[in-house]
Amino acid sequence: MTVRAAIVDGAASILVLLALGSPAAAQQLQKNSHLKSIEQCNGTDRLPAQARIAGCTALINSGDAKADALAVAYNNRGNAYTAAAEYDRAISDFDRAIELASGYVKPVNNRGVAYLRKGAYGDAVKAFDEAIRRNPTYGRAFANRAEAHLKLHQYDRAALDFDEAIRLDPNLTLARSGRCWTRAVIGDLQRGLDDCDRAIQSGSKDAATYDSRALIHLKTGRFAAAIDDYNSALRLAPNLASALYGRGLAKLRLGDKAGGDRDVSAARLIELKVGDEFARHGVQ
């Protein structure tokens, strides 16, 4: 299966929450290096995950932050742990953020993302259920729950969640890309193609979007177009097994046995059962 991106609800700003006091309090923040920790925890300048973790940890351990600010710091550190693939630590931080600020819905969604990346898809669905219960207009949570349904091969449920995510947030490009993939799998090919086209036209540079559109071209017999899109996907993600395998099939359909066999073999070295995924999607 193509690797799709879940939508993390990014770092929130802690500066306002910590500097609600007097100007003197703000000056004290600067004196004792809190500002640097705040900047790191907020993820300014796209700092590496370990730097963000260090900044948030300093704030959490300082004893100076109020509950709302602590909740943001735990959420932001949880995001950094997720980026570092330390999912259990991330989940623990999101749990703490939720305890500190029950009305703060970002960590509920982000906890679901950590479960999703960990491979605990049922727990991910439950987390996104809770995020949606707390905020029924949370388009990102619907899109993320759809991704969890895809992992569980629950394509009809995924399609419904992508529909709702796009209704709530028409500019959510990753949701449109995900719906394209879902429609490609279930055979709603023209509407899936429309979704991928719109995602790409909006400036998407996501390999999964090209991979999804290529699957539609493959299913509809447009093999040259499929190869073009698989090439685009592989430029963005050179080790994407689904794109290598799909390109191999397209080449074989066009009579390029040597090139096709080479791509199929390379894909199987990356993901042994990639052919089973294509067979499940009706392509052999």
Each residue's pLDDT tens digit, 132-182? 999 999 999 999 999 999 999 999 999 999 999 999 999 999 999 999 999
When mean pLDDT is compared across 4-8, 75-79, 119-123, 146-150, the lowest value belongs to 4-8
Whole-model pTM: value is 0.86
When mean pLDDT is compared across 34-48, 92-106, 270-284, the lowest value belongs to 34-48
What are the backbone angles phi and psi of residue 228, rounded to the nearest 5°?
-60, -45
Domain boundaries 1-114, corresponding CATH code: 1.25.40
The CATH homologous superfamily to which domain 205-284 belongs is Tetratricopeptide repeat domain (1.25.40.10)
The percentage of residues in the chain with a pLDDT greater than 90, rounded to a whole number, is 75
The secondary structure of residue 13, as a DSSP letter, is P
Each residue's pLDDT tens digit, 195-249? 999 999 998 789 999 999 999 999 999 999 999 999 999 999 999 999 999 999 9
C-alpha span between 23 and 234 (Å, rounded):
53
Of 205 and 4, more confident:
205
Section 184-197 average pLDDT: 96
Section 77-87 average pLDDT: 95
Where b means 16+ CB within 10 Å and e means fewer, 197-232 reads: ebbbeeebebbbbbbbbbbbbbbeebbebbbbbbeb
Please, which pLDDT band fits residue 28 given cuts at 50, 70 and 90? low
Section 247-271 average pLDDT: 98
Q: Assess whether pLDDT exceeds 70 at residue 13.
A: no
CATH topology of domain 119-192: 1.25.40
pLDDT score for 108 = 97
Looking at every residue in the chain, the average pLDDT score rounds to 89
Sketch the domain layout of the chain as residue ranges: 1-114, 119-192, 205-284
Domains 119-192 and 205-284 share a fold: yes
Section 60-80 average pLDDT: 90
Q: Assess whether pLDDT exceeds 50 at residue 25.
A: no
Structure tokens at 277: 């995924």
Section 30-43 average pLDDT: 71
